[in-house]
Amino acid sequence: MEELEHTCPHPRTTLTEPAIFAKETSCDCRAPHERLTITQACKGTPVDRPVRVYADGIFDLFHSGHARALMQAKNLFPNTYLIVGVCSDELTHKYKGFTVMDESERYEALRHCRYVDEVVRDAPWTLSPDFLDKHKIDFVAHDDIPYSSAGSEDVYKHIKEAGMFVPTQRTEGISTSDLITRIVRDYDVYARRNLQRGYTAKELNVSYINEKKYRLQNQVDRMKEKVRTVEEKSKHFVYRVEEKSHDLIQKWEEKSREFIGNFLELFGPDGTWKQVFQERSGRMISYALSPRGSPCNSPPREHSPLRSPSPPSPSARWHSARPSPPTSPKGASASISSLSEGDEDEK
């Protein structure tokens, strides 16, 4: 009898397309499917087919906690083909409660997760042996906390007893219930936010009075934001003015020091101006003591005691006897008469 080769689909090697939806038959491989043990799966055997791991859930408001759980399931074994089952709205509303996202939105969210190779729509709430055989599932991955639902203390109890359960770790601080709690707690904030973004009061299920209240609060918030913006700009302007004034004062002080230094250098006790003034004063005194016609350096003329001084010449006597120019007509006539008398004496 010829041995059939495994034709099971392999994990995705490219992320350019979303994960596929599971078909009715899921796996078209005709080779007999023998479930692996955890030891065999960890070794990566068999080489001709991947280890098929199944993880299920509601995945409402798909968040990082969901993605981290699927990442752990994907990396449980060296060659893992991850199948994710998503429960329908009917089952979820019956056993868990109302969801924010409908089933088609939740299916699409899982298809676009990089760790998912295949999505099973309308997954069962409790895994039956027929379902496990149909999809040729080797292991089931979920967190280890007992999940009580549908009248059972733990819906994964029979999977654990069969040795097919592989635990993953929950991410603390994030869950769908936490996200919904935040929205309910801050309902007014999100209602005002959506009204501001164009949603109608009818779409938000908000009464007429609450709508007016929210719109008024939005206007008050906008005014507060404008005032806050103006205050910040004013503070920035004042800071710049203070910075500029500080620079101007610093420059003024530097220029003042420079001016005082130059002034003292010119007019101080030992300044340049004093030296210049002393030199000019000395020149003026020496000029006054020795006129330009008789230089001070010429030796004085000595008179001989034996010779009598020569009589002055007529021109010299005329110059010495010459009166000063008259300042009035009467003075001019007097000077003329004195000159005539002098001439007669000389004759």
3-state secondary structure of 152: strand
Please check the confidence at residue 109 and state whether its pLDDT lies above 50: yes
Asked if 174 and 64 count as a contact pair (C-beta separation under 8 A), the reply is yes
Whole-model pTM above 0.75?
no
pLDDT 10s digits, 66-89: 999 999 999 999 889 999 999 999
pLDDT 10s digits, 324-341: 554 444 454 445 445 444
Strand ranges in the chain using DSSP code E only, listed in sequence order: 20-21, 51-57, 80-86, 118-121, 139-143, 165-168
Q: Which residue from 89, 107, 87 is spatially nearest to 99, judged by alpha carbons?
A: 89
- pLDDT score of 15: 75
| C-alpha triplet 24, 26, 31: angle, nearest 5° | 125
Q: Which residue from 71, 141, 58, 137 is spatially nearest to 100, judged by alpha carbons?
A: 58
- Distance, CA of 129 to CA of 84 (rounded, Å): 17
Higher-scoring residue by pLDDT: 284, 121: 121
Residue length, the chain?
A: 347
Q: Is the peptide bond before 11 cis (omega within 30 degrees of 0)?
A: no
Residues 6+ apart with CB under 8 A from 78: 42, 44
pLDDT exceeding 70 applies to what percent of the chain? 75
pLDDT 10s digits, 26-50: 566 655 677 888 888 888 766 678 8
pLDDT 10s digits, 228-283: 888 888 888 888 888 888 888 888 888 888 888 788 777 777 767 677 777 777 77
Please check the confidence at residue 290 and state whether its pLDDT lies above 60: yes
Taking residues 105-115, report their average pLDDT. 95
